[in-house]
Structure 1
Amino acid sequence: MTYRTDSGRTSRSTGPRSETVSSTQGLTNARTRIVGDRTGAGADAVVGIVRLLRLARERVGAHARRAASVVTPLGWTALAVVPAAFLAGYGFGLQELVVVAWLGLVLLVVGALYLIGRLTVDVDLDLPAPRVTVGDPAEGEVIVRNPARRAILGLTVEIPVGRGLAELALPGLRGGAEARRRFVVPTARRGVIELGPVRSVRADPIGLVRREVVWAGSRSLYVHPHTIAIPSTSTGFIRDLEGSPTRDLSSADVSFHALREYSPGDDRRYIHWKSTAKTGTYMVRQFEETRRSHLVVALSLATGDYATEDEFELAVSAAASLGARAIRDTRTLSVVASERTPEFAKRKVFAVRTLSTVTRTRLLDDLAGVEQADSALGVVDLARVTATKIGGVSVAFLVCGSLPTPAQLRTASAFFPIGVEVVAIVCDPDTVPGLRQVAGLRVLTIGYLADLQKALARSAAT
């Protein structure tokens, strides 16, 4: 397989390793930050030590978090102060420290009593609307039931909401009673928010100890990107036996158009013998080409292609709008995003992640979870892999931020075969929107999502 580079030279790779390069040039991950481009045994040893230290830190942190889940920082302080107060009080004859020591010991014993016993309740987590758009209100609901005969006192439950935490205080429940409480889920940012698992918390009044019991499972809330209705794209068709006839003529297809005189090189199977007998000249059938659209939307996830996070969010919304329109028009569609190189990989991996285009909802679910990455493929490498892996493309939309240069965009478009219409959608809120032609490439700059609708409508009209 031969690839073109930015400098115009070609490189050839064969075999199953055609999707990787043999150097770390252009790669940004944990390995390159530690040892740079070095790949020898010494570099491998340094990386191995760093990975072991990271693993040890994670294990120690897990045990520390498990201990901290029972004893609070105030409890650890009391555990350290009480023995010290006993030693100092009895050692130096200070009655005040002795009183403090015994008081602290009593508080620790009382706190330990709060941890004794088992809570018999049923806790469920419900998500009425599992999919919302950015900015739309979203709520979750916790249902607590007391299946036992005896009543239980008030209960505090905590629900992890993404990186945040929702805390609800529930009243006491008599036997067989049920309580429901709703909580608000923030949807100011696109993403997949994990809710739960719900855990009940038992703690002493002072806050020395606490006991957590995990009850319900997790739920996922998909916060979809904004989309806008855009006109149906009618350009960039390719020949296809299942398509519609056009005005372009062909010597071999399924839609008959007319007869013409035989020319050297024509297929003899299409000679019309009855007309040949009447005219005395070989006559062959001529057909109209039939075509069908195959759209590709390629979204760059490389941090180096975007100046701000707003540019990236605008790019995701633009890709979602294009894909949703193609699905609505029941066209052949492929939506791909940059794949990232693993943190400790020695080589830059050339691959793309294919998003689901079965339904509009499935596509938006996948786009809700995409994130930027330093090691993700940039727009040039993304176009290279997309053109190699996906065949029969008629229109290719390359969605990126404001940092790729016009030369890089031209290089990216050159990877697609001749006849494929390539449109680069540059998301830049700080630039005047516009549409320009650059060496066979259309560059569409948008500052707001509405600009995409207007620009495509003007393009279709012209």
Structure 2
Amino acid sequence: MITRAGWGLVAASALVYAVGAPLGYAQSAVLAVAGLVAVGAGALWTLSGARLDVRREVTPVKVARGDPAVALLHVRNAGRRRRSGLVARDTCRGVSVTVEVPPLARDTARTVSYRLPTRRRGETRVGPLVLDRTDPFGLVRRSIAYGRPDLLLVRPRTVPLTPPHAGRQRHLDGLVSRSAPNGATSFNGLRDYVIGDDLRHVHWRSTARTGVLMVKELTDVNLPSTVTLLDTRPGAYEGDDEFELAVDVAASVACSVTRDRFPVRLLTGMGELLHAKGGPGESEVVLDRLAVVERSAAAEPPGSALRRAGSGGALVLVSGTYEALPAAAAVRRRFDQVVFVRVGDPTEGGPPAAAGVTVIEAGDLADLAAAWPR
């Protein structure tokens, strides 16, 4: 493909010939032909086969919003001639990233890196990768696509918080959890033996009757649970930045609970997003699920979503408007602790009060950490 410089040279050559030829200037024809020959030579330069091994590597493949993510471009010249004038073009979230590749001698390789945009959450498609080859004068360019697009998962940012441990469960048998400590004494049921189970919990009668080693599954009536509700209505936020902060707040709360191996339910206006039982590594699952959460016009208001939230433990409601505060106050008797977090600029005179509800205004994650109840 002829570049702008190439088309400019073609136009200049035609103009020189059109002006000089009628006046009898032989030099005009020579200049015009020289310009056209230069463009043709550039086309032959780029059309000549180039044996290049090109590979892109995205690292890390999962990154917190705003943290750096880098693409490493590995280019190797497998041909017999030196290659120069290589420019790589990559695309990420509609943003085009251009990077020059240093000249490559015969059988040599170079690695160049460039940053990828991570301001917004989501599953981001990186690519396609296109390598441009131009002639030494930049008159003609040839573009070749290499490889397949890669995926970059931009997840919410988090801040360490104290889990809202809210006392006893109101259910008679407590919360079912395989992470319950061995000292728990409430019997919940039987299950197959798994390597590593305490042999003191083997139920020998059932084992003798079924021929399969069975163990007692216990519950811990003191195991605190947390319900985190994220308001996903479009009208609840003034802009994208406020919603991104709300997702960060919900992720911080849920991850603080799962990292201490306590159960948490994560709800949105579209229903239950996740029910983590307190197992190891579930904070990673929380971040992965929240990475793809978006606002929706079909999202229910918090009051409707809380009807299915159960009772007991702690409730954390995150929204961008105080219109959702009455919904939190209305269910305060169903939970041991209720926290309402409103994201955005602080209001004049401070946040409104609600009986039985801890109200927090968070302009950023630092504000959340400072005001979070301990």
TM interval, shorter chain, is 0.5 to 0.7
What residue in structure 1 maps to residue 193 of structure 2?
Answer: none
1:245-264 alignment runs, 5 A limit:
none
2:283 corresponding residue in structure 1:
360
Shift of 1:419: 1.2
Structure 2 residue aligned with 1:120: 51
CA contact (8 A) 2:346 2:362 kept: no
Specify which of 106, 112, 115 is matched with residue 174 of structure 1: 106
The counterpart of 1:315, out of the listed 246, 263, 271, is 246
Cα pair distance change 1:454/1:242, threshold 3 Å? same
Does residue 216 in structure 1 map to residue 153 in structure 2?
no
Matching residue within 71, 80, 86 for 1:156 = 86
Q: Structure 1 residues 94 and 441 mapped into 2: Cα distance closer, same or farther (>3 Å)?
A: farther
Name 1:387's counterpart in structure 2: 306
Tell me if structure 1 keeps the 8 A contact 2:104–2:110.
no
The amino acid across from 2:83 in the alignment is L
Q: 2:263 aligns with which of 325, 329, 332?
A: 332
Residue 83 of structure 1, CA deviation: 6.5
User: SS in structure 1 opposite 2:372?
Assistant: helix
Q: CA deviation at 1:426?
A: 0.4
Gaps spanning 5+ residues in structure 1: where? Answer: 1-69, 245-253, 256-288, 339-350
Provide closer, same or farther for how the CA distance between residues 131 and 180 of structure 1 changes in structure 2, counting only shifts above 3 A: same
1:430 corresponds to 2:353: no
- CA offset digits 1:205-226 (Å, max 9, x no partner): 3433311112233334444443
Equivalent of 2:237, from 303, 306, 318? 306
8 Å contact from structure 1 (residues 433, 446) kept in 2 = no
Cα root mean square deviation, aligned: 4.1
**TM-score between the two structures when normalised by the length of structure 1:** 0.57
Amino acid at match of 1:123: V
The amino acid that maps onto 2:326 is R
Q: Tell me, yes or no, if the aligned pair for 1:431 and 1:447 is still in contact at 8 Å.
A: no
Deviation of 1:80 (Å)? 6.5
1:207–1:356 distance in 2 versus 1, CA, 3 Å: farther
| Partner Cα distance (2:370, 2:349) in 1 | 10
Alignment of 1:218-257 (within 5 A): 218-235=149-166, 237-239=169-171, 241-243=173-175
Retained in 1: the 8 A contact 2:69–2:118? yes
CA distance in 1, matches of 2:23, 2:304: 79
Is residue 446 of structure 1 aligned with residue 362 of structure 2?
Answer: yes
**1:152-210 deviations in Å (ceiling 9; x for gaps):** 422524142521414132222323x3322333446566665544443321112343331
Distance 1:156 1:91, change over 3 A: closer
In 2, are the aligned partners of 1:432 and 1:447 still within 8 Å (CA)?
A: no
CA 1:384–1:435 in structure 2 vs 1: closer, same or farther (change >3 Å)?
Answer: closer
**Equivalent residue number for residue 341 of structure 1:** none
Matches within 5 A, 1:105-144: 105-134=36-65, 136-144=67-75
Q: Secondary structure at the match of 1:154?
A: coil
Partner of 2:114: 183
CA distance in 1, matches of 2:87, 2:307: 52
Cα distance change of structure 1 residues 102 and 391 upon mapping to structure 2, 3 Å threshold: farther
> 1:241 offset after TM fit, Å?
2.8
Aligned to 2:133: 202
In the alignment, is the contact (CA less than 8 A) between 1:433 and 1:451 conserved in 2? no
- Indicate how the Cα distance of structure 1 residues 118 and 301 shifts in structure 2: closer, same or farther if over 3 A, else same: farther
User: What is the rounded CA distance, in whole Å, between the counterparts of 1:103 and 1:201 in structure 2?
Assistant: 25
Question: 1:378-423, CA deviations, whole angstroms, 9 ceiling, x for partnerless residues?
Answer: 6xx242553366556754322122xx244x4314765x69614653
Q: Percent identity?
A: 29
Gaps of 5+ in 2: 177-185, 188-219
